[in-house]
Structure 1
């Protein structure tokens, strides 16, 4: 998956956490927010899918096991719709204010899950996802890498995507690693099995040089 040029916000800092199920993205997102808020930065912590009113309905459709089978293209388009609303109403406004935006999942998840996982043409899926997000790229994407067997074993109940086959999740993992390898300037890959505080310290060290784009001030809710 070769890296392609995209748009990076001129103000604010956009950081994304990616990885397979149970890799620790949510934990590390919260820890990064706490560390940056301690330094006085305005931080917005968000996630995909579902962090808008429209997104919550879309999340219910794509993740609820009761939804059952969906056309692979239908699923990809639902995720793209969530991203379009999320970027337009949440991410871009915060970046324009000079805030640090930390998102748990973004475009790479669509490429990994709906592209590689579902075996759709990744280039076609990417075209849709990039259009939906105005081709906005994170300044840094942190990939927390874990074996699917380990990640899936960290919880009992599984949603519609988590319940996919082990081979599906292995394709997803390979896709994340390949995307990171293609653009090392904008990616940081870390072993998700490392101690939580060690991962957090490494992420903060990588984010720190980016903070000259951000403003200090009131923190977003």
Structure 2
């Protein structure tokens, strides 16, 4: 069995770095959409109007209960049947964002339900509107405790980006497989991919901890 070829690893490194850029781009954009959409879904699910909360709750449970790969396939292959044609990258990011928005919605909901009832009653007593109540009273208390859970989903999204290769997005893992099939050497590209994902996960964890510390300082 041949050993690890450092020369070959350095030769393919630029190709993998370019693919890593695509992986990071898809993750960052997908996660940014997921955290915003998830918050909207959480607020709607907590609505007192059943005709809002029930359909939103059903949507969240449906998305959480179906595989991400199926959702990505649907966005890329099925939506064109209804006249909605998305480029592969857009369909992939949309699939990631929708899938993880369902999970972040439940994280946000847990944070919102942790707000004491007196806080809501005080906002009503002060005649604050819903937007002002959420912006100035509820969200500043609800979001900091759920940041670690949101960070976990960021890392999980990084590790799910290889699924985009199913719709021909040449992200990091797909590039490694292409290199392997062209050169019949898989040890170096797959090893480098593992290192890249480890580094990206560690960086993400460090960023989340930094956000936690900043929020803790503001609270203090």
Q: Which of the two has greater strand per residue?
A: 1
Q: Which structure is richer in relative contact order (CA contacts within 8 A, separation 6 or more)?
A: 1
**TM-score if structure 2 supplies the norm length?**
0.29
**TM-score normalized by structure 1?**
0.29
From the two aligned structures, give the one with the greater helix fraction: 2
